[in-house]
Amino acid sequence: MSVLSARLLKSTPLLAAEPEATETAARETHAEPVRLGVIGPGSRGKELMRQLLRVPGAEFVAVCDVYEPRFAQASELVGHPLATYKDHRALLDRKDLDAVIVASPPVFHAQHVIDVMLSGRAVYGEKTMGFTPQSCFDIVDTVKKTGQIFQVGHQMRYAPWFQESVRRIHAGEIGEPTHIYAYWCRQDDWRRVVPSPDLEHLMNWRLYRESSGGLLEELGSHQIDFANWVFGELPASILGTTSIATYHDGRTVGDNVQAILHYSRGRRLVFNSLTANAMMGEQLWVYGTKGSVQITPEDATFYTEARKVITAASHSSVVQRGVKTGASYKANGEMPYRGPGARIDARNAEEPTLTACRAFVQCVRTKTQPIADVHAGFGSAIACSIGKDAVFEGSTKTIPPLTQGHA
């Protein structure tokens, strides 16, 4: 058993850096640099740059954006002038790039990541991988055709407390996992103040259906990826609904979403996202036949329940006392969730985006496909690209069975 697993099982806090990781970092310092370009150094793109600057050997060379103020921001971030381009194809004409980060809005992902791979470079492509079902297939096909490294921005695949939770779920600790309840609730209207009205759609792309799959795509995609990981398959269909309950400001995506994703053998992911009430925060509950696990950005907690033996009422007791329905309403001190649970404390763990960036640089060096590969990207993206229509229409949409081959 590794040092990390032993520590997790004792429920002690995760440390910021494992000794092995520090040694690896020291070795990486002497490795060849990995020269990077960025397409779309906006909010997320700059965060990825910040994290990659902490990875030994990662060097930024050039950025591409259609909004010029990003150029100065990106150069300031790295501390030296970067080459700048308004067209991603001009950036890809450079000879000195090893890999490219794509953090443009989702409608552009397919065009950008496919062109990067066709130019012979590895790509770290932000989620959601593709905006339409066809674009998801096209990206998978390009990875197959070019053999290029493709890592998707589902960084929770790199979080040790997520990895450990999934390992323990798969080992049977909570029995058969049948339901996942995913909450992503915030107080955040998503609206950005724009310098001039002509920039509304460029900056507030999340608010409009032509450029955004709304909360399902922007937040739910991470949680769908988690459910696909736990259940080991893609959902077969999705039932969704949305409304504008608070922010009546001209947006065409809802400010809250509820969706149920159907997996085989009756298993379900239930997703709920609110943007005017942060009470439930960001958390996942996995319910199994022998227990439950709650996973948050800070920890994971396993709960076990005493098994209740359910026996059928005998014919004579039904005749004598009538059919027994629910007990009458009374406090009985038996709420299972009042127990303390067994906690994996992750508050001191490394930021998962940094771990994901470290892993990407390592994959580029060693020419290996990452953990968060194109199949993980496909699984959440196909569900979102089809499921967003279910959410917008208030209907159920089927995810074609042929997509399962990509899981």
Ligand X SMILES: NC(=O)c1ccc[n+]([C@@H]2O[C@H](COP(=O)([O-])OP(=O)(O)OC[C@H]3O[C@@H](n4cnc5c(N)ncnc54)[C@H](O)[C@@H]3O)[C@@H](O)[C@H]2O)c1
Q: Please tell me the distance from the alpha carbon of residue 179 to that of residue 288, in angstroms, as a whole number.
A: 7
Identity of the residue, 150 or 302, whose beta carbon is nearer to ligand X in the bound complex = 150
Identity of the residue, 267 or 358, whose beta carbon is nearer to ligand X in the bound complex = 358
Closest separation in Å from C-beta 361 to ligand X: 17
Q: Please tell me the distance from the alpha carbon of residue 407 to that of residue 379, in angstroms, as a whole number.
A: 6
Closest separation in Å from C-beta 100 to ligand X: 11
Residue nearest to ligand X (CB): 42
Identity of the residue, 124 or 263, whose beta carbon is nearer to ligand X in the bound complex = 124
Identity of the residue, 43 or 289, whose beta carbon is nearer to ligand X in the bound complex = 43
267-287 burial code (b ≥16 CB/10 A, e <16): bbbbbbbbbeeeeeebbbbbb
Q: How far apart are the first and last CA of the chain?
A: 29
Closest separation in Å from C-beta 126 to ligand X: 4
User: Among positive and negative, which fits the CA dihedral 352, 162, 296, 228?
Assistant: positive
Closest separation in Å from C-beta 85 to ligand X: 9
Closest separation in Å from C-beta 45 to ligand X: 6
Looking up tokens 């429920």 gives 11
3-class DSSP state of 152: strand
Q: Please tell me the distance from the alpha carbon of residue 307 to that of residue 388, in angstroms, as a whole number.
A: 38
Identity of the residue, 45 or 220, whose beta carbon is nearer to ligand X in the bound complex = 45
Closest separation in Å from C-beta 109 to ligand X: 7
Closest separation in Å from C-beta 137 to ligand X: 19
Identity of the residue, 282 or 299, whose beta carbon is nearer to ligand X in the bound complex = 282
Q: Please tell me the distance from the alpha carbon of residue 331 to that of residue 381, in angstroms, as a whole number.
A: 44
Measured CA distances, 304 to 179, 182, 227, 296 (Å): 15, 19, 20, 18
Q: Please tell me the distance from the alpha carbon of residue 268 to that of residue 258, in angstroms, as a whole number.
A: 13
Closest separation in Å from C-beta 204 to ligand X: 9
Q: Check whether the bond before 128 is cis (ω within 30° of 0).
A: yes
Identity of the residue, 190 or 287, whose beta carbon is nearer to ligand X in the bound complex = 190
Is residue 242 within 8 Å of 214, Cβ to Cβ?
Answer: yes
Identity of the residue, 177 or 213, whose beta carbon is nearer to ligand X in the bound complex = 213
**CB within 8 Å of 218: residues ≥ 6 apart:** 128, 206, 212
Q: Which residues of this chain interact with ligand X, rule CB under 6 A?
A: 39-40, 42-45, 64-67, 70, 88, 103-106, 108, 126-127, 153, 155, 202, 218
Closest separation in Å from C-beta 133 to ligand X: 17
Q: Please tell me the distance from the alpha carbon of residue 76 to that of residue 236, in angstroms, as a whole number.
A: 46
Neighbouring C-beta atoms of residue 341, cutoff 10 Å: 17
Identity of the residue, 7 or 217, whose beta carbon is nearer to ligand X in the bound complex = 217
Q: Please tell me the distance from the alpha carbon of residue 122 to that of residue 36, in angstroms, as a whole number.
A: 10
Q: Which two tokens stand for residue 32?
A: 């060849």
